[in-house]
Amino acid sequence: MHTYIIRRILISIPLLFGLLTINFFLIHAAPGDPTDIFYNPDMDPEARENIRRIYGLDQPLGVQYLKYIQGVVLKFEFGYSIAKKRPVKDEILEALPNTIQLSALALLLELSLGIGIGILAAVKQQSTFDNATRVTALTFYSMPSFYLGLVLLFLFAGGVSATHWFPASGMVDIVRHESMSTLGRLGDRAIHIFLPSLTLGIGAAAGISRYMRGELLEVIRQDYMRTARAKGLTERVVVFKHGLRNALMPIITIMGLSLPFLFSGAVIVEQVFGWPGMGRVAVDAAFQRDYSMFLAVNLIFGAMVVVGNLVADILYAMVDPRVRLS
Amino acid sequence: MILGLFGLLVGLAGWHAGTLWDTLAHTLEKLFGANVPYTLRDLDFLVSTLFLLGMLAALVLYSGLSCQRIRQADRTAQGPERQWSIVKRQFLKNRLAVAGALIILALYLVAFLCPFLAPYDPVEQGDRVQERLLSPSAEHLLGTDRFARDVFSRIIYGSRISLLVGFLAMGLAVTLGTAVGAVAGYYGGWVDSVIMRFVDMMLSFPTLILIITVIALWRNQSIWIIITLIGLMSWMGVARLVRGQFMALKEREFFQAARALGAGTGRLIFQHLLPNSLTPIIVSATLRVGNTILLEASLSYLGLGVQPPTPSWGNIVYDTKGNLFTEWWMPLAAGMAIVITVVGYNLLGDGLRDALDPRLRE
Amino acid sequence: MSTEASKNSEVLLRVEHLKNYFPVRQGLLSRVTAYVKAVDDISFEIGVGETLGLVGESGCGKTTVGHSVLRLINPTEGTVLFQGKDLTHLPAAELRAMRQDMQIIFQDPFSSLNPRMTVGAIIGEALAIHGRGDRKERAEMVRDTMQKCGLDPAYINRFPHEFSGGQRQRIGIARALVLSPKFIVCDEPVSALDVSIQSQIINLLVELKERYNLAYLFIAHDLSVVQYISDRVAVMYLGKIVELADSTELYRNPLHPYTQALLSAVPVPDPTRRKQRTLLPGDVPSPLNPPSGCRFHTRCPLAIDICKKVEPRELDVEGHKVWCHVVEEQITGSPPSS
Ligand SMILES: Nc1ncnc2c1ncn2[C@@H]1O[C@H](COP(=O)(O)OP(=O)(O)OP(=O)(O)O)[C@@H](O)[C@H]1O
Ligand code: SF4
Ligand SMILES: [Mg+2]
């Protein structure tokens, strides 16, 4: 078990380095350079060089690369955002918790909704409930998250005046938040995070419930289930005791695998709801061509995925001893 | 069955040639200086190409189905006709899958017949004072946008982008994934380890953000770049699938038999491994189209996809999202088009899987 | 006296000290921590037109031997001389050419035929690979071979799933036969078939062997099947040959306790000649950690002390070879020693 965990961790390290390296060179292979936004046609070449020197861009690529790695690994330092005029680290530390908050809530929703509906659908296979949820899940699964977001906004945040229950954007009410009581602030936050996390969670839950249903049906058909049934156990006991445990194991993996989708979804959802998280930072960076910000965002999302998968794999190995041996 | 498809193919080829001629004529006209926007004409040609390719895919699909009927027969040892009809019946019984197939078919027809279906030119701007932001009416079914363009026409033409992206990006992803997975699965050993580590790494990239990065830094938002990027970021699942298939097939005795006969690498892969992996590849390809369409739509929604005035469903939503609380029909209708398309592909993929995968059948 | 490759003939295949170890990887760096000794130092010969039966329980390494002999897997050690050429180090091109003379028939008639190919393509593939004839000639050769194997040539364009198990096995035989090889490995060719069909297939194999002077390495897991077809029989246990003798001699006079046990499990046609069934206690040990000394000692009714420590050596009584301390003592009269 220990060797499995250690090996799994050791495999993740080159993965992260690969991520960092590809990102670095990808971004440096791009035409133009980060200081472009300072230039104007009548700037003299010397000033230009000066700027480049200040940001270390005059050094050979290899040196820049090593320095960058050193900064990231030793000091969690991602350089300076030229567009935002502040260290990337500060910007990230501000945005990351917001994204994590949103994603975590969405993950919770995803798992509870997805697994719950998946089980119900599998138990009542071919029933009206099953058919209805299958179509619903498929629809949500096929829906771009921005569309779901816009529909929710339209329905509950202004489009229909009778149901104008939620704010359309932001994390808090900018005007009144400061003057609220602690409880009021909490409520303010909750009411703001509700629609974005619902959007993100429903989309992901649709995928999980589809998967869960298929997995359970597979397990239900297997022999030991038949034996359990033959022993006279009721359907419910059979499904819960025997089926569920076996079907839940792949769910752990799916959880790990759904992280990249969750984060990609977060980028869009943050854009729809004006949520000040990493997704916003990424899109801003895109329009401002903010090199160092790109690197950091890509790296952090990548790292979260790698670590998420690592945790999932280890959990999986704890549940299923066969994994360790292979 | 095959004959019927073949006839269809010939007919389409004729049609295709007609469009080609059309395009050629217009290109000549262009050379001589007529002042017409050609981009859509060119797309016309492209879409018909895709239609043709789609038919080819149908042929492949057919052979995939026949493969399945064979495997089915292994289990039940019934006559071949009966097996084929089982698969067909299974597919037809699944009414949702048929609905999916019909949706896709209808969409292709719409994309193909845009010029006849769209009441207005999708990029031509009307009178910005009087025809701007009109509500739906008999003349403008979905009203007009802030540039006074007919939204309904734009949505009709937008189908081309989605179908184009879906088909080509999926094609690229499947081709790449199959190639990579085949190499890993066939050679195994350290080759496999290296390749699969690389696949793991690709899977940890945040797809959307990476694509955003490249598009933003290279300042290039052409549809071809977008298709390529989406394809390059979506092949990993197929690679895993094909690798797994190959690994399993290599254990089968017919593969050992071919080796014993002295078959070379090419024959082993193309005659024995690949044909027997086709069914799951086709199913996963169908299910993957939806994802690529969603990805393109997301990019467009961020303003980083296909650039206006060329209409795509994603950029129509992007263009009109500011009108959500007032002229809500514009963004919601365009988004609905995306949902319907992706639902269609996913229904079709689900149906194919149910029909082809004996494990899921009682 | 030539003990091996009996009777008349020259040697076709000579296997010497064949070993097949599969590495087991474990730990942090996937270091090889152990080996599955699937085949551990075995030697035998097969003459032109001769059939050697290879018998042993499931997992004792029979398939591994068969595959190594054809170099479908690379042996860990040892040599495989086929018509005097060492296959284990043959370059790929030469090996491919050699494959025309040696073929294999598999156990499972369902997994051994490519479901996507027609019968004609399956049987004709070998011809295509080795560039025999043009399209027409090949089709002719395929029809011809189908006929020989008891298949109606009219079925040439059918797919494997349209056939029954026995017919499919005939297709597999035709595929092996179409190049007119000199040697065929038959890896349990009838184990997966109904008893009623088994004898048909065995009869076909015997007929073909006599007609074309084929040599077989005939693998089976029980002695009754090999008895009829084999000239000589080798008995394997956990990666080693424990006894090797002329077919009639082995059945009449089994020396090794393991062979005796196997024979007692063979149903006896004559009820008056009731033998005592020697039932073996316990399971086959894992080839990952084979017992020391004689590998059979954990289950052997005759085992003595030395069996646990020292591997028995070959004892050759006029071509009847056996590896067993107790038998050696009985026959030579001298106490076994290392
Ligand atoms: N590629 C491999 N890697 C590791 N172990 C293997 C491999 N191939 C075979 N073995 C092991 O070697 C041993 C011998 O296998 P083999 O298939 O040769 O047995 P067999 O006598 O043909 O059995 P059966 O009667 O079941 O066909 C088995 O314990 C098997 O698990
Ligand atoms: S050597 Fe010993 S253990 Fe092995 S077979 Fe002979 S008596 Fe039995
Ligand atoms: Mg075997």
pLDDT of residue B34: 47
Mean pLDDT of B100-120: 78
Please answer whether residues B95 and B112 qualify as being in contact, where contact means their C-beta atoms are separated by less than 8 angstroms: no
Model confidence pLDDT, tens digit, residues B301-331: 888 888 877 888 988 888 888 777 777 788 8
Name chain B's partners: 3 or more CB pairs within 8 A: A, C
Please answer whether residues C33 and C21 qualify as being in contact, where contact means their C-beta atoms are separated by less than 8 angstroms: no
Between helix B223-232 and helix B151-187 the angle, nearest 10°, is 40
Model confidence pLDDT, tens digit, residues A125-141: 777 888 888 888 888 98
| Mutation probe of ligand 2 site: the residue of C297, C327, C328 with most atoms within 8 A of C-beta | C297
Q: Which of B197, B215, B347 sits opposite A138 (nearest CB)?
A: B347
Please answer whether residues C255 and C278 qualify as being in contact, where contact means their C-beta atoms are separated by less than 8 angstroms: no
Distance CA C121, CA C138 (A): 10
DSSP string, C248-283: HHHHHS--SHHHHHHHHHSPPS-TTSPPPP-PPPSP
Chain-chain contact of B71 with C115 (C-beta, under 8 angstroms)? yes
Model confidence pLDDT, tens digit, residues B168-202: 888 889 999 999 999 999 998 899 989 998 898 88
Place of tokens 């303010």: A188
pLDDT of residue B224: 82
Here the tokens at position A23 are 């990102």
Confidence band for B75, pLDDT divided at 50, 70 and 90: very low
Most confident of A51-60, A235-244, A277-286: A277-286
Distance of CA A63 to the CA centre of its chain: 32
Peptide bond connecting B309 to the previous residue in cis, omega within 30 degrees of 0: yes
pLDDT of residue C159: 87
What is residue C132's three-state secondary structure? coil
| CA-proximal residue: ligand 2, atom 1 (nearest) | C324
Look at residue B223 and tell me whether its pLDDT is greater than 60.
yes
Here the tokens at position B8 are 């269809």
Torsion of CA C111, C115, C121, C125, to 10 degrees: -40
Q: Is the C-alpha dihedral spanning C287, C290, C296, C298 positive or negative?
A: negative
Look at residue B94 and tell me whether its pLDDT is greater than 80.
no
Here the tokens at position C236 are 């394997």
Model confidence pLDDT, tens digit, residues B324-358: 777 778 888 888 999 999 999 988 888 877 777 65
pLDDT of residue A34: 64
Please answer whether residues C314 and C44 qualify as being in contact, where contact means their C-beta atoms are separated by less than 8 angstroms: no
Please answer whether residues B313 and B161 qualify as being in contact, where contact means their C-beta atoms are separated by less than 8 angstroms: yes
pLDDT of residue A228: 64
Chain B residue numbers with beta carbons less than 8 Å from the beta carbon of C126 are: 261-262
What are B128-136's contacts with CB under 8 Å, separation 24+?
Answer: B133/B323, B133/B327, B135/B327, B136/B329
Here the tokens at position B92 are 């037809």
Chain B residue numbers with beta carbons less than 8 Å from the beta carbon of A141 are: 346
Please answer whether residues A73 and A168 qualify as being in contact, where contact means their C-beta atoms are separated by less than 8 angstroms: no
Alpha helices in chain A (DSSP H): 2-29, 45-54, 61-75, 88-123, 128-141, 145-156, 182-221, 223-230, 235-237, 244-273, 278-288, 291-319, 322-325
Mean pLDDT of B211-237: 85
Look at residue B268 and tell me whether its pLDDT is greater than 60.
yes
Which residues 6+ apart lie within 8 Å of C44 measured at CB? C4, C15, C52, C234, C241, C244
Between helix A2-29 and helix A61-75 the angle, nearest 10°, is 140
pLDDT of residue B22: 56
Distance CA A244, CA A258 (A): 20
What ipTM did this prediction achieve? 0.86
Closest alpha carbon to C234 in C42, C69, C102: C42
Element (H, E) at B98: helix B95-112
Best residue of C25, C82, C116, C217 to probe chain B, by most B CBs closer than 10 Å: C116
Place of tokens 């080509």: B168
Please answer whether residues C95 and C71 qualify as being in contact, where contact means their C-beta atoms are separated by less than 8 angstroms: yes
Confidence band for A35, pLDDT divided at 50, 70 and 90: low
- How close B79 gets to chain A, by Cα (Å)? 26
Look at residue B359 and tell me whether its pLDDT is greater than 60.
no
CA distances (Å), origin B113, targets B119, B135, B152, C129: 12, 26, 14, 49
The atom number, within ligand 2, closest to the CA of C242 reads 5
Element (H, E) at C148: helix C135-148
Pairing of strands C232-237, C51-55: parallel
Distance CA A111, CA A206 (A): 10
Please indicate whether residue C285, judged by its CB atom, sits closer than 6 Å to ligand 1. Answer: no
Higher per-residue pLDDT: C248 or A187: C248
Distance C9 CA to ligand 3 centre (A): 29
Please give all residues whose beta carbon lies within 6 A of any atom in ligand 2, as ranges: C 257, 294, 296-297, 300, 302-303, 307, 312, 324-326
The atom number, within ligand 1, closest to the CA of C60 reads 21
Number of Cβ within 10 Å of residue B11's Cβ equals 11
Q: Give counts: helices (H), strands (E), chain B.
A: 15, 0
Distance C187 CA to ligand 3 centre (A): 7
Please answer whether residues B70 and B276 qualify as being in contact, where contact means their C-beta atoms are separated by less than 8 angstroms: no
Between helix B189-204 and helix A244-273 the angle, nearest 10°, is 40
Chain A residue numbers with beta carbons less than 8 Å from the beta carbon of B331 are: 150
pLDDT of residue C288: 82
What is residue A107's three-state secondary structure? helix
What is residue B355's three-state secondary structure? helix
Ligand closest to the CA atom of residue C106: 3
Higher per-residue pLDDT: A181 or C14: C14
Here the tokens at position B320 are 């009109």
Distance CA B220, CA B28 (A): 28
Chain A residue at shortest CA distance from B359: A218
Reported as half-sphere exposure (CB side, CA atoms, 13 A), residue A149 has a value of 27
Distance CA A298, CA A218 (A): 37
| Mutation probe of ligand 1 site: the residue of C20, C36, C240, C286 with most atoms within 8 A of C-beta | C36
Place of tokens 């095959």: B2
- Stretch 306-325 of chain B: residues touching chain A, C-beta under 8 Å: 314, 317, 321, 324-325
Q: Is the C-alpha dihedral spanning C66, C70, C72, C78 positive or negative?
A: positive
Between helix B274-301 and helix B207-218 the angle, nearest 10°, is 60
Query: Which portions of chain C are predicted below pLDDT 70?
Result: 1-9, 26-30, 265-279, 335-338
Distance CA C298, CA A57 (A): 74
